[in-house]
Every structure is written in structure tokens, then in C-alpha cells.
Chain A
């Protein structure tokens, strides 16, 4: 299969340390199957699927709460993540904390741990970092409007054949494919 042709699995050119001993990634169909089992287990145990964006919203509510607890509770958006004054005791935030741990273990096993910046050969580190920040900001807005991201909508909703989730998924891919040509210098 052609995915095994990946010569440089960390895909990181430039001066940053690349662990040349990095092991290849898992077979995508096998990893998809395992990811599906994790999602299924999440449904079976909690009755809800996975998510990610809510964790960021919880941290945002916590930060805003440091500035002004009263305003946070009045805010329509923050209010939903305020959790009676304990926004950091958020289920999704703990899910992502676990995800960081799991990813770290996998990266460590695969010898892929490295302080590095993922970028194409034709973009500077600083430009890439600015674009990463901007992309995060834009993605956050999209996820807030769509009420979910790739985890909460695409994976979780998609597996329940949720119509809105499928619309979201199609829109994400349509948009990214349409824009790919314009940002090709960042990746190719």
C-alpha cells in the first residue's frame, strides 16, 4: 500500500531535530478501527461521543472568570461552561488531558517525540507559527458556529448518521480542498 511509502513519518524538514529513528505510523485502516472502538466505548459508557472544542471553551470560561466571575455567568456562551464555578472540572477537558497522555505515550513508543515545527520546505518557522495560531483561531470560530468539530461533529455525529454532522463534514472538506491551492507554499 502506498501509505507505507512515507519516507519521513515526522515530516519535518529544516534545522529542527528529527528523530531519524522514528518508527512508521500504524496502518490507517487499523488505526481507524481502533479509534472507532474507542468512540464506541465512549458511547456505551457515557451515552455521548467524543469532543474537543468544549475543553477550550471551558478554559476560556475559567480565564474570563478570573477577570470577572459575575460577567461570566451572565455571558450566554461562557455560562454553559461555568459549571457552578468549576469550569476546569470539565469532562471534555479531562478527555483531552487523557488524549495528551495517550499521544505522548504513542509518540514516545514510536520515537517521534521532538521539539519541532511542522511545515513544508518553502515556509519559514515564524510564518508557519503565525499561520498555526491564525488557523486555530479560525477553526475555533467554525467549531463554535457548527456546534462541534472533527471529533464532536464528524466522528461522533457521523457514526450516528446525524445529518448535520454529515453536512459539517462535507463543508469542511469542500472548504479545505478549495483553499489548498492558495496555501500550498505552507505545505508543499
Chain B
């Protein structure tokens, strides 16, 4: 049963090769979607270009549906997949801080790589800021990790929380995506005057 990692032992070099390959697909998609541009990314917060939500939402729904189908068909054991433990305080607070960094810096960690790879110097500065940030976290506030660990609620998904199966959630998300697609088209038409002309 999938995932492959549950029954295949790769050499360390092969694992890094797989990382390179998957990363290439990742970076290609990000750049082609326009995520190498901070203006395209931040446009979502001024509502005149909702591409960020469209891409992210579609990606999440695609993967979710794929995982569900693989599992329902008996080909994949979802319990073998890594799940980051839920921690409401850490993910809520971290998300708020992260959002501030996103709108001020113009990128997130993955997209800054795609921006830097296409020559965006602000993306390179964002990456340098990231590096200094994780260094500062490790050097000056390593105690935060213990605080995060202490408040963990363990592995928690919407199906386990609500009792509603994953298949139903896939349907809910697909329906919501269809509705959101319509709503985002409306937003973009409504706020098109915010788009900088130069």
C-alpha cells in the first residue's frame, strides 16, 4: 500500500534526488501561476486579483480528492502520512505573525524562492530576512518550542473532529470552491480600479 515510503528504502542520495525532482515541479507551478511576483501575490489582499486563493484552494482540493480516492480504492493508507499535531494557540498566533510578514514582505517562504530564481531582488532580500529570522528564533527564543509542544492537541483532522467522513468533506470543499470561484470573479470586477496602472 502507498505511500511508497512505507515499503521502499531509498538511499539518502536517492531521497535528495526525489526532493530535487518534486521541487522542480513545485517551483515550476508557483512561477507559472505568477507567484514569483510579490505584486501578484499581494494583489489578493486588495481584491483585484484573487489568483493566490484560486491556486491554493484548487491545489488543496485536488490533493484532498486524490488522497481520498487513493484511500477509498484501497491503494493508500492515509494513517501512514505525516500529520503535524494541531495546536490552536501556536497555529493561530503563528498564522497572525506570518500573515503580517506576508503582506509586508510580499512573499511567503516557498514563493520567495520562485521570485529569487527569476531575478526578483526583493525576493532575495525576503529570503535573507527569513534566514535571519529562523536564526534569531533558534538563538534567542528556543524556549518557544517547549511552549508549543506543551499546548499540542495531538493529531486532529476535520473528519475526526466532526465525525463527518473525508469523502463528505471533499464534496463540501468542491462545492465551496465552485461558489468561491464565482465570488472571486465578482470581487475582481468590483475592485479592478485598485489595480495599479503602471
Contacts and interface: CB of A to CB of B under 8 A. Distances in A.
Interface of A: 1-3, 5-6, 9-13, 25-26, 28-29, 31-50, 52-53, 55-57, 59-61, 63-64, 75-78, 89, 91-92, 94-107, 110, 112-121, 128-155, 157-180, 183-184, 186-188
Contact of B66 (A5, A40, A75, A78): A40
B93 to A, nearest CB: 6
Given A48-B81, A159-B61, A179-B104, 4 more contacts: A25-B34, A35-B29, A137-B132, A144-B134
Interface in B131-189: 131-139, 142-146, 148, 153, 156-159, 161, 166, 169, 181, 185, 188-189
Given A37-B62, A143-B109, A101 B24 contact: yes
A187 B41 CA distance: 10
B115 to A, nearest CB: 7
Contact of B94 (A107, A144, A158): A144
Contacts of A35: 26, 29-30, 33, 55, 58-59, 62
Contact of A137 (B19, B130, B157): B130
A179 B111 CA distance: 20
5 nearest A-B pairs in the assembled complex, by CB-CB distance: A135-B105, A98-B23, A136-B129, A146-B94, A140-B133
A102 to B, nearest CB: 3
Interface of B: 2-6, 12, 15-34, 36-40, 42-43, 45-46, 49-51, 54-64, 66-67, 70, 76, 78, 80-88, 90-123, 125-139, 142-146, 148, 153, 156-159, 161, 166, 169, 181, 185, 188-189, 192, 194, 196-198
Contacts of A170: 95
Nearest to A77: B138
A14 to B, nearest CB: 8
B130 A136 contact: yes
A11 B5 contact: no
19 contacts: A32-B33, A36-B63, A47-B81, A63-B135, A94-B17, A95-B26, A102-B29, A103-B36, A106-B32, A131-B105, A137-B133, A138-B133, A147-B87, A151-B110, A152-B84, A155-B63, A164-B91, A175-B103, A180-B45
Given A102-B23, A104-B117, A175 B66 contact: no
Nearest to A28: B54
B55 A64 contact: no
Contacts of A114: 118-119
A99 B70 contact: no
A103 B31 contact: yes
Contacts of B144: 144-145
Given A64-B138, A101-B27, A89 B33 contact: no
Contact of B126 (A75, A116, A135): A135
A145 B94 contact: yes
Chain A interface main SS type: helix
A3 B5 contact: no
A95 to B, nearest CB: 4
A129 B129 CA distance: 10
B194 A188 contact: yes
A140 B130 contact: yes
Contacts of A164: 84-88, 90-91, 153, 156
Nearest to B87: A164
A113 B121 CA distance: 12
B26 A167 contact: no
B142 A77 contact: yes
Given A35-B29, A136-B128, A165-B84, A141 B101 contact: yes
